[in-house]
Structures are given as structure tokens and as C-alpha cells.
Structure 1
Amino acid sequence: MKPLLYGVMGRFETPEALLDAIRTLRRENPDLRLEAFAPYAVEGLTEALALPPSRIPLITLAGGLVGGLGGFFMQWYAAVVSFPENIGGRPLNSWPMFIPVTFEMAVLCAALAAVFGMLLSNGLPRIYHPVFNTPHFGLATRDRYFLCVRSGPAGTDKINTEHWTRVLTQLGAQTPVEVWS
């Protein structure tokens, strides 16, 4: 299989240099496809990359509501429909006794929805990514910051690598390299 050009990647020493480079590139071309890699969360990186808002809070809320309602109706069905028992003269649908299990099911399902939603939205688990082949990319988990200017859609080779190598060097990137899949 013919390798496809993924983009051009440059290494930056500080998070400020990375953010300045992204902001400069965004001012010149707002539709540019950029990816940034950092060893920790960098304040302002999401806004600089113009990433869409996260859907994780909505997924967590939906998981909590489904879990809470499922826990409540599971108990209601068992106490009222499946096996009704009149204990101490209380009504069959005694909702106060359903609250602890309802709460615990809501918390459990919300937590599971948040974890699995985060994994899916991040595209994980991902065994292989083209940037893993670039030299020095292991430093992205320690103390360096990387910026990748992506090629066109579906891995097409529509990117001027010489131009972007020169631009990244002017922005302060060290050793810009081409990234191939």
C-alpha cells in the first residue's frame, strides 16, 4: 500500500510558542487543519485550535438520567407489578425507599457514560497513528509540544510540504518533518 502524506509536524519548546504559532496560523488561514500534542493540558489550546465544544457533559447527563430512571422503574416494577407485598400497611409504590438505589444507579450509569463517551469521542483505543513514526515524538509525553499541519481530506497529498516546513520554522518550530501514514 502506498504511504499517504498525513501532514507536516514541528516541535516547540514551550506551550507559549505553540499557542503563538497556532494563533498566527489561524489568523492567516482559519480553515487550516491543525493538530496539537502536549504532555499536559495547555490553557487556551482548545480555543486556539477552534475545537468544537465537548459533548461529554450531555452524554454524562443522558447516562445519569437513563440510569436513575432505569433504577427507579426496576424497583417499581418489582414492588408493584411483579411481586407486590403489603408490608406494614405501606403503599406498594413507596417511592422514598427507592431513592438510594435510584441515586446509585444514576451515578454509576453517568460515570460509565462519561468514560465510554470520552473514549469514543477521542477515537480511542487507537493502536496506530501516523504521528507515532515522527522522530522525537516520544517527547510529547514528557516536555515538548508538537503542532501538525494536516493535509487535505481522506489523506490526499494536497499540501505544500516545503511551504509549511518553512512557515513552521519561521514560527519557531524545531526540526519540522513530513508525517506519512
Structure 2
Amino acid sequence: MKRGLLAEFETPEAMLRALTELRSRGYRRLDAFTPYPVHGAEAALGLGRSPLTWILLPFAIAGAAGGYLVQWHNNVYAYPLNVGGRPQHAAPAFVPITFEMMVLTTALVGFVVLLVLTKLPELWNPVFDVPGFERATIDRFWIGIDARDPALIRPIAERDLTDLGALTVAWAGSSPAKERP
């Protein structure tokens, strides 16, 4: 969220009630800023599961296949050694390194994909300029309504947030959303 309305709440329960009520009133582009994870916030925001696991699955398979193929290439093709009549291609011996390559590849790619999906690092955001927003990392709970939300009509949304128990309501960003009649 770069622009929109921000509302400050004192307790996580008040924030969750407000999120649920705002979604029932038709707001869809909502965000929550909390000092710690709040149980039920994902459901109140209408968020689904993260796509990260499905994005990383092909990389995990590729890492495991790559680890297995390197071992096979070295033991069977490039440097075959006949030691005590043991087979060149002994699949059980390849399991530990195959697993470790899968974990290593998934962790490294997962870190990069996580940064891309979360659009980090973000050194500055207009919401940081809202007075009191720094308390979102200490003891306050904030709800944001994105300016791109089709249901956002600023005076009505401000009244809704105030009626739902917001301590303060402020606009974040350079220019307010268009006023609708």
C-alpha cells in the first residue's frame, strides 16, 4: 500500500472487528500493520495461502535432480571405480547428498523469491510519514485501505473507521483519493 487511509486501533481485537466489518461493507484492498502476528488477521483480510510453496517446488525438484545427476555422472561415467565388486550406480548412497542439494537450492531460491514477492527491500514508504505510525512496531494496530480500492470514498471511509473505534484516521501518500459524490 503506497497511498490510502490509515486508521490506528488500540487492541488487536478492535482491529480484527474493524477488518471484518470493513470487508462486509465491501472494502477489499485492506492491509494490517501490527507489532506482532495477530491470530485471525489473515482470515479477516481475506488472504489465502502463500504461493511460495508452489513456486519453490520446481526448484526443489531441480536441486534434487541436479545433486543426483552430479553423483551419477562422477561415479558411473567420469570416474568409474570397481571397489570390491560393488555396483557403480548405488542409489541409496546418493540419497543424503540428493536431499542436501534439494534443501540448499530451495533455501537459496526461496530467499530470493520471498524478497521479490514482498517487494523488499523497501527503504521508504509514504505510510511511514503518517504521525504515530512508528507505534505499529511497538504497541498499536493499524488498518490501511488502499487508494485503489473501488469502495473507497474518503469521507465515508473516514466515518466508517471512526465509528469502528479508530483512535486516529490519516491519509498516507502524496495526494488523496478522488472524492466521489
Tell me the TM-score normalised to structure 1 length: 0.86
Greater shift, 51-60 or 84-93, is seen at 51-60
Letter in 2 for 1:180: G
Give me the whole-angstrom Cα distance separating, in 1, the residues matched to 2:79 and 2:31.
57
* Alignment match of 1:75 (pick from 68, 71, 75): 71
Give me the whole-angstrom Cα distance separating, in 1, the residues matched to 2:47 and 2:92.
44
Give me the whole-angstrom Cα distance separating, in 1, the residues matched to 2:5 and 2:105.
41
Alignment of 1:12-51 (within 5 A): 12-29=9-26, 31-51=27-47
- Deviations 1:58-80 (Å, cap 9, x if unpaired)? 23433332222111111101111
Deviation at 1:159, TM superposition (A): 4.4
Query: Is this contact kept in 2: 1:59–1:113, CA < 8 A?
Result: no
Alignment of 1:118-133 (within 5 A): 118-133=114-129
Does residue 169 in structure 1 map to residue 166 in structure 2? no
Give me the whole-angstrom Cα distance separating, in 2, the residues matched to 1:37 and 1:15.
10
Corresponding residue number in structure 2 for 1:180 = 173
Consecutive aligned runs of 4 or more in structure 1 exceeding 6 Å deviation: none
Greater shift, 123-132 or 166-175, is seen at 123-132
Identity %: 39
Give me the whole-angstrom Cα distance separating, in 1, the residues matched to 2:94 and 2:114.
30
Does residue 64 in structure 1 map to residue 57 in structure 2? no
Deviation at 1:102, TM superposition (A): 1.0
Tell me the TM-score normalised to structure 2 length: 0.86
Give me the whole-angstrom Cα distance separating, in 1, the residues matched to 2:21 and 2:139.
22
5+ long unaligned stretches in structure 2: 175-181
Alignment: residue pair count: 173
- Deviations 1:5-55 (Å, cap 9, x if unpaired)? 8111010011110110011011111x5311111111111111111113211
5+ long unaligned stretches in structure 1: none
Give me the whole-angstrom Cα distance separating, in 1, the residues matched to 2:54 and 2:148.
31
Give me the whole-angstrom Cα distance separating, in 1, the residues matched to 2:90 and 2:152.
66
Deviation at 1:120, TM superposition (A): 2.2
RMSD between aligned alpha carbons?
A: 2.1
